[in-house]
A and B are shown apart, each in its own frame.
Chain A
Amino acid sequence: MAKVKGTSFVHRHAASLAVVPVMLIALVFYFGSAVWSMVMSMTASKIFPDMTFVGVKQYIRLFSDALWALSLSNLGWYALGSLGSLVLGFFLAVMLESNLAGERFFKTVFLYPMAVSLIITGLVWQWLFNPSMGLQQFFRDLGLQDFDFNLVGKKETVMWALVIASIWQSTGFYMVLSSAGIKGIDSEVWAASRIDGISKLRMYIEVIIPMMKFTFLTSFVLLSIGAVKAYDIIVAMTNGGPGGHSELPSYYIVDMYVNRQNIGMGAAGSTILLALVLGFILLFGAINLLSKKKE
């Protein structure tokens, strides 16, 4: 940090004034709003705000709603499935970091889904999963008469469809992070492996992957928070269906506020969401601290 020592009062005053707007926005719109939501979650509010204190009643009501429980377990599966984009992204990065010609072309292809809206991702994958005109029909026309790829239509498989679409969307991103991690490894490590004649595969398993654990942990935190925030893709692809089997907490909360008009339960759900994310932030902070200590 380029801090200027011994500046006059006016100088410091200008700098402090310059941060006031952002500071106020953080205080009012983020922390104020979060506290406001927490307060609402402990009131009897329904369609209209009602400031009668009811303690944890809204939370009890929330957790006795089967749909909320379902959305939490869906979130677990969705987060787990999204790990696929990290695995695939790392795998692609390893191949691309081998000095292949056409690296730029491949990277452009793998990353373009990141540039489009999740509404479009959801829409195009809904179309691809269309049972009578989409991929299923294509494979049946090839002679696989029993081919079943109607993932969106069935409650057992609908989360798979969301996971596939989200892997398509975000693999390129984790490929870029992994590439940066591989590039960041000291050149001496590679030189040493060449002298020792260690095979590339062993090199990756025994040296590179352990050295990249901070990249992976960061990616893991980002993936988890991405899963907690996922909303658009559900709207465009399934609207939570069939029968709530693709609802995630983020979708449940908006639905609670907007369609079911239950402020108290929506606020309770959003407070749980906040707690989840704060947990991940603590994890992220711990990782950052650890990685700084290492340096």
Chain B
Amino acid sequence: MSMAISRRDILKSLMMSAVSGSVLRVIPLKAAEYAHRIVKAEKAAAETHAYTPKFFSAHAYKTLQSLCNSIIPADDEAKGAVEAGAPEFIDLLTSENKDYQLTLGGGLMWLDNTCIDRYEKPYLDCTADQQKEILDLIAYRKNAKKDPSLGQGIEFFSFLRKLTADGFFTSEIGIDYLGYIGNTYVQEFPGCPPVPES
């Protein structure tokens, strides 16, 4: 089967042989479901190459990966943001958006610069304790009140936290972790399951 074939192509070809006897432009339910499955399987087979960042330098991208991993790490329940592809997602959007480039590109440089001031090393070369110390400072807005020089770092981290959550919770891993069940064809809507009393 050609790899170039798309969901759209399949649906289009199905549409050509639309339900006979109906004047409406619809296709049989099962056929549509089949089309989605084929495309999903093909996409899965195609995704195994190493990622080259579109916007971030190699160093900045490694720092981004490290921060994504700290924001949503792997644990005993599910893999984390890096495995879920959050850094790739963030890099893609940033490569296309000047505001993101300022906030994230500039933010990463702020972080390295602040680490050099404090620990004489860029963030990635800091010890785990040092990394935790600086993250604990920029992860909470209230810290800017005590030390206004943290303001830019806090803004940066706040935005990165949202984008990391976006990347994680819209991935297959993240959606499974949340337990979303749906986006499928059911004959009848089952209603609400019994809710346990607290």
Q: Is A bound to B?
A: no
A interface residues with partner B (beta carbon < 8 Å): none
Q: Report B's interface with A, CB cutoff 8 A.
A: none
